[in-house]
Amino acid sequence: MPEGVAYLIRKILSDMTNLPASWVNNFKVNGLVYANKSGTTNWKDPKSDKILPRDGWLVGYTPSKVAVFWAGNTQGKPMNANAYG
């Protein structure tokens, strides 16, 4: 990956103003500059057509460290409808 592309991705993913305001305090680590990306996968209930979260994940990294977190049900069932990233 070109160095300039890597720089832009890190710059975007480390900018706390790109997070929802309610998340900033949960993701802030004083004295550490890092980038993170979160996501969810969803499942459509065939009986009700409701979209439910199946799992959620978060990847955080610095130039020398990477941490990956996953939350979900190991049997592939959706999480509680109130679960979110």
Each residue of 55-67: pLDDT tens digit?
Answer: 989 899 888 899 9
pLDDT tens track for 6-49: 899 989 998 888 888 888 888 778 888 889 888 888 888 889 99
Q: Write out the chain in H/E/C secondary structure.
A: CCHHHHHHHHHHHHCHHHCCHHHHHHHCCCCCCCEEEEEEEEEECCCCCCEEEEEEEEEEECCCCEEEEEEECCCCCCCCCCCCC
Residue 37 and residue 71: Cα distance in Å, rounded? 14
Please state the pTM of the whole predicted model. 0.70
